[in-house]
């Protein structure tokens, strides 16, 4: 019997209709298009304006897109993982709700939270279930409604984040394609530099925490940038060294879309030419758990069976890492 590897066999995505441009933002906070573009590479981001809809809506729409394109029967799905930092609500699993709503009633589901590394860590988790031989179809969704936790009077964060979702299907492969290796790390030193202060067990919700905006995301931009540049590049370099890969062996870099300067630094460390570095940050901003699958969706037609793809991400906590994957299909 050949060794089972876990391959991505289908991709889906969804972004809301409303486009929040830099020009609109400069009417809300003290900023401008030139300043935002130079520091982040972002021109616009999508926002889910309907307050009655949460992250689950984004995830459901991305899952439905995947199922329609792949002609996938939801009853065949064994597991639904929703990678997210903005679950619909505490305690009740967003993934369980998503699975039910898409008709995956034979699946179990749960959420995975590792900030902006959630989808990357989810890839490792989904692949492990497939490689165990126990499950045949694992649906991994990266979704975040970041607008629900952003303070739109804080120009340090409101210019960065957007809403969106992407989904991939992992299935067994017997050709040696799919996930090959991973280098995943975390360090609690980052706990205070990128966070939401209140709403958890450490600081439960009170009238004062709401008044003081302690339920919005805050970050120490300079510190986060420094750690992100170093660690995302280090992880990518490590994955190349461990697998005896050179820059010529890499077909594509799929990096977390947090900041164009971080992406550029990672690509430079890998000595990759610009044409191999995939970016859509200009149009979506940082959608947190959705950035990696949204890149896959946008560039899916360019991938060829057997292509070597390196995924890299960095998130709050701190969390970071890189994954080496062999693409498993040609887009028809």
Catalytic positions are 116, 256, 286
Q: Whole-angstrom Cα distance, residue 48 to residue 181? A: 35
128-134 own/partner pairs: CB under 8 Å, 24+ apart: 128/6, 129/6, 129/78, 129/79, 129/170, 130/4, 130/5, 130/6, 130/170, 130/171, 130/172, 131/4, 131/5, 131/6, 133/4, 133/172
275, exposed or middle or buried, with CB in 10 Å at 0-12, 13-18, 19+? exposed
Give φ, ψ of 34 to 5 degrees: -60, -45
3-state SS assignment for residue 259:
coil
Question: Whole-angstrom Cα distance, residue 226 to residue 219?
Answer: 12
Chain centroid offset of residue 34 CA: 26
Alpha helices in the chain, H assignment, sequence order: 22-25, 33-40, 55-70, 94-101, 118-131, 155-158, 207-211, 221-242, 260-269, 281-284, 291-299
Longest dimension (CA), the chain: 62
Q: Which is nearest to 193 in space by CA: 29, 319, 31, 286?
A: 319
Reported as half-sphere exposure (CB side, CA atoms, 13 A), residue 276 has a value of: 19
Place of tokens 């890499």: 250
**Measured between alpha carbons, how far is residue 217 from residues 12, 85, 150, 221, 297 in Å?**
27, 11, 6, 12, 27
């Amino acid at each position: 019997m050949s060794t089972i590897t876990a391959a991505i066999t289908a991709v889906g995505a969804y972004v809301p209709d409303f486009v929040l441009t830099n020009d609109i933002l400069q009417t809300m906070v003290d900023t401008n298009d030139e300043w935002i573009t130079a520091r982040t590479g972002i021109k616009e981001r999508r926002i889910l304006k309907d307050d009655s809809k949460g992250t689950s809506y984004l995830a459901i729409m991305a899952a439905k897109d995947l199922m329609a394109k792949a002609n996938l029967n939801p009853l065949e799905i064994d597991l639904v993982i929703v990678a997210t930092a903005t679950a619909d609500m505490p305690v009740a699993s967003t993934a369980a709700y998503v699975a039910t709503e898409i008709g995956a009633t034979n699946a179990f589901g749960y959420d995975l939270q590792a900030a902006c590394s959630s989808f990357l860590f989810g890839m490792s988790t989904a692949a492990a279930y497939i490689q165990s031989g126990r499950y045949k179809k694992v649906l991994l969704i990266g979704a975040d409604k970041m607008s629900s936790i952003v303070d739109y009077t804080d120009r340090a964060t409101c210019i960065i984040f957007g809403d969106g979702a992407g989904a991939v299907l992992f299935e067994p492969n017997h050709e040696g394609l799919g996930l090959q290796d991973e280098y995943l790390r975390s360090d609690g030193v980052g706990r205070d530099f990128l966070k939401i202060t209140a709403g958890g067990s450490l600081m439960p919700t009170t009238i004062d925490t709401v008044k003081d905006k302690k339920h919005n995301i805050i970050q120490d931009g300079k510190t986060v940038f420094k750690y992100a540049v170093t660690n995302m590049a280090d992880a990518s370099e490590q994955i190349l060294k461990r697998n005896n890969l050179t820059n010529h062996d890499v077909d594509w870099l799929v990096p977390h879309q947090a900041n164009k300067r971080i992406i550029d630094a990672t690509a430079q460390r890998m000595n990759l030419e610009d044409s191999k570095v995939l970016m859509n940050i200009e149009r979506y901003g940082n959608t947190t758990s959705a950035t990696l699958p949204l890149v896959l969706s946008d560039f899916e037609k360019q991938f060829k069976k057997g292509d070597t793809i390196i995924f890299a991400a960095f998130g709050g906590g701190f969390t970071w890492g890189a994954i080496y994957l062999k693409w498993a299909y040609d887009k028809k």
